[in-house]
Amino acid sequence: MRRPGLLVLSLLWGLGAAGSGQTSPPQSAPKGAVERLELPPPPFSEGIYPCSNCHAGMPVNRTRRELTAMHTDIVLKHDEEHRWCLDCHDANNRDQLHLASGEPVSFEESYKLCGQCHGEKLRDWRAGVHGRRTGNWNGEKQYLLCVHCHSPHQPRFKAIAPKPAPRRPQHPGVSTEKVTHGN
Amino acid sequence: MATESKTPGGMTRRGFTAAAAGAATWVLTSCGPKRLYEVPKEPLKQRIAEMEREYKEKRGMDLHISDAGPMPGVHFAYALDLSRCIGCRRCVYACVEENNQSRDPQIHWIRVLSMDKEKGVDLVGADPYYQPDLVPEEGKFYMPVACQHCENSPCTKVCPTGATWAEKDGIVVIDYDWCIGCRCCMAACPYGARHFNWAEPAIPPDELNPNTHYLGNRPRMKGVVEKCTFCIQRVRQGRYPACVEVCPVGARKFGNILDPASEIRYIIEHKRVLVLKAELHTVPRFFYFYAT
């Protein structure tokens, strides 16, 4: 964002515009507006949260190791040489994350954690340019958290199967497939 | 002019030609049905009601045809992130479903081109028929191409019946009732964005999108040209186009270029942006950019 708070303002304006039916663009954005993003809840695996359900009574083990008892499905491929679980997950309160500074961050605001390294992506995301948006171009838009698209443990997108290629040009009637003509 | 011959009435040849052309235009435009932009609201509503009734008789389905006009202060523009697109063609098929394109013969408003990263944007070597098991392929990038909604659109200039024009919000539209199927616009379009209904379009009844716009996705007939309308039936209600919402990598961006807080403006001001075939001075409202 060029100006902090613009996005929030545009969201608020969008809500207002939806109600009043106005369509003119906002003229100015007061500085220092508090960030308020409408975000869906984080995509936890079934039954995994709150983490403290299991971790509350467990001793903290900071050693880098292969997990065998639990979380065996998690393979860390995200700067794994320099990182381990507790660099992002908070050891003192398992139901939240923490920034590099130690400041706690909820799972709902995990984008702040991602933005520590990927600041330029965070900036684009706030502006609505990084990531998928649905909803209204001139009003309320649905944002997604980083982790809705990128697995935090393996953020790189996996290749997917493409939809079928278009058919090559053909003369109607000559094609082997049935050509349906109207009545 | 000395070289110009005089007609018996004392008129120059050039003057006569101009007068004759003017008279012919007057005759042509004052006869027959009015073009949409000349039609007063009330007759347009009647025409739409008639259309909806005709459709119900023919297919037994309720169809809603919107006549929503451009919003004041809005000029649409589109941006597509070439560094993100993975060529999965989700947009192509979302577009087909949203905009009631013929399934057979097949019409796709969006064509995704596969290109070599080494060569960069090279339309000559581009392949729209790629079909690997998985995308993106190593060493390839993808460029979806549809109507570029040019500010200086060659297609609208060549139309002999005035059936296609640019709306005030920048959407280049076609009035299918006025299209005579001469396909001059298809020849004029440098992007291959226009498609012709060579046969009666076939759409399975259960897949028909009943929310339509007069100038957009209402069912077409054999012998007319069609193309992307930025999902006019959605964007004039404030919604994003269908391709924007379906893109799994968020490569597609849409908004009002007159709004300084819009995504489009952010992209144009902060990213590396290009337009296709800029040298033709068509001034597309469709921008390609690299977010990274």
* pLDDT digit string, tens, across residues B84-125: 999 999 999 999 999 999 999 999 999 999 999 999 999 999
**Rounded distance between C-alpha atoms, residue B54 and residue B221, angstroms:** 13
Positive or negative torsion for Cα A80, A86, A87, A93: positive
Domains held by chain A: number: 2
Pair (A87, A7) in one structural domain: no
Task: Kindly state whether residue A125 falls inside one of the protein's structural domains.
Answer: yes
Q: What is the mean pLDDT of residues A44-70?
A: 90
Task: Kindly state whether residue A65 falls inside one of the protein's structural domains.
Answer: yes
Pair (A47, A27) in one structural domain: no
What does the pLDDT read at residue B23? 67
A28 touches chain B (CB under 8 A): no
Residues of A in contact with B222 (CB under 8 A): 182
Residues B263, A128 contacting (CB under 8 angstroms): yes
- Helix/strand/coil for A36: coil
Residues B226, B194 contacting (CB under 8 angstroms): yes
Binning pLDDT at 50, 70 and 90, where does residue B219 land?
Answer: very high
Full residue range of the structural domain in which residue A70 is found: 40-132+144-149
Residues of B in contact with A128 (CB under 8 A): 253, 263, 266
Q: What is the mean pLDDT of residues B158-166?
A: 95
pTM: 0.82
Pair (A14, A79) in one structural domain: no
**Rounded distance between C-alpha atoms, residue B81 and residue B253, angstroms:** 8
Question: pLDDT tens for residues B5-39?
Answer: 555 556 677 777 777 766 665 555 555 555 666 66
CA–CA min distance A17, chain B (Å): 10
Strands B140-145 and B111-116: antiparallel
Q: What is the mean pLDDT of residues A65-74?
A: 90
**Which among B58, B89, B263 is the top mutation candidate for probing chain A, defined by the most A β-carbons within 10 Å of its own β-carbon?**
B263
Least confident of A139-143, B38-42, B148-152: B38-42
Residue A28 has pLDDT above 60, yes or no: no
Residue in B92, B134, B222 closest to A182 by CB: B222
* Neighbour tally for A111: CB within 10 Å: 21
Residue A30 has pLDDT above 60, yes or no: no
Residue found by looking up tokens 């045809």 in the block: B65
Residue A1 has pLDDT above 90, yes or no: no
What does the pLDDT read at residue A33? 44
Q: Please tell me what DSSP assigns to residue A69.
A: S
What does the pLDDT read at residue A38? 77
Residue A25 has pLDDT above 70, yes or no: no
Pair (A52, A105) in one structural domain: yes
Average pLDDT value over all residues in chain A = 80
Task: Kindly state whether residue A90 falls inside one of the protein's structural domains.
Answer: yes
Contacts 24+ apart (CB under 8 A), B164-170: B164/B225, B165/B37, B167/B69, B167/B70, B167/B215, B168/B70, B169/B70, B169/B71, B169/B74, B169/B75, B169/B76, B169/B236, B170/B75, B170/B76, B170/B77, B170/B257, B170/B285
Binning pLDDT at 50, 70 and 90, where does residue A39 land?
Answer: confident
Residue B47 has pLDDT above 60, yes or no: yes
Residue of A nearest to B70 (CA): A23
Residues A146, A111 contacting (CB under 8 angstroms): yes
Task: Kindly state whether residue A176 falls inside one of the protein's structural domains.
Answer: no
Residues B250, A125 contacting (CB under 8 angstroms): no
C-alpha distances out from residue B80 to A23, A136, A166, B47, Å? 24, 18, 21, 37
Residues of A in contact with B245 (CB under 8 A): 132-134
| C-alpha radius of gyration, chain B, whole number | 21
A156 touches chain B (CB under 8 A): no
What does the pLDDT read at residue B26? 59
Pair (A14, A45) in one structural domain: no
Pair (A11, A46) in one structural domain: no
Task: Kindly state whether residue A181 falls inside one of the protein's structural domains.
Answer: no
Q: Do A172 and B199 touch (CB under 8 A)?
A: yes
Average pLDDT value over all residues in chain B = 91
H helices then E strands: how many in chain A?
Answer: 6, 4
Instruction: Sketch the domain layout of chain B as residue ranges.
Output: 66-290
What does the pLDDT read at residue B67? 92
Residues 6+ apart with CB under 8 A from B57: none
Pair (A71, A118) in one structural domain: yes
Structure tokens at B93: 């098929």
Question: pLDDT tens for residues B223-262?
Answer: 999 999 999 999 999 999 999 999 999 999 999 999 999 9
**Rounded distance between C-alpha atoms, residue B95 and residue B240, angstroms:** 12
Task: Kindly state whether residue A49 falls inside one of the protein's structural domains.
Answer: yes
Q: Please, what's the b/e burial string for B177-203 (b: 16 or more CB within 10 A of its CB; e: otherwise)?
A: ebbebbbbbbebbbbebbbbbbbbbeb
Binning pLDDT at 50, 70 and 90, where does residue A78 land?
Answer: very high
Pair (A70, A126) in one structural domain: yes
CATH architecture, domain defined by B66-290: 2-Layer Sandwich (3.30)
Q: Do A160 and B244 touch (CB under 8 A)?
A: no
Pair (A8, A80) in one structural domain: no
Pair (A48, A26) in one structural domain: no
Q: Please tell me what DSSP assigns to residue A47.
A: T
Residue B58 has pLDDT above 70, yes or no: yes
Structure tokens at B86: 């993975």
Q: Please, what's the b/e burial string for A145-166 (b: 16 or more CB within 10 A of its CB; e: otherwise)?
A: bbbebbbbbeeeeeebebbebb
Residue A170 has pLDDT above 80, yes or no: no
Pair (A47, A126) in one structural domain: yes
Least confident of A29-33, A177-181, B32-36: A29-33
Residues B222, B180 contacting (CB under 8 angstroms): no
Task: Kindly state whether residue A161 falls inside one of the protein's structural domains.
Answer: no
**Which among B142, B198, B289 is the top mutation candidate for probing chain A, defined by the most A β-carbons within 10 Å of its own β-carbon?**
B198
Q: What is the mean pLDDT of residues B175-181?
A: 95
Residue A107 has pLDDT above 50, yes or no: yes
Residues 6+ apart with CB under 8 A from A98: A88, A89, A90, A104, A105, A113
Q: What is the mean pLDDT of residues A106-129?
A: 95
Task: Kindly state whether residue A173 falls inside one of the protein's structural domains.
Answer: no
Binning pLDDT at 50, 70 and 90, where does residue A17 land?
Answer: very low
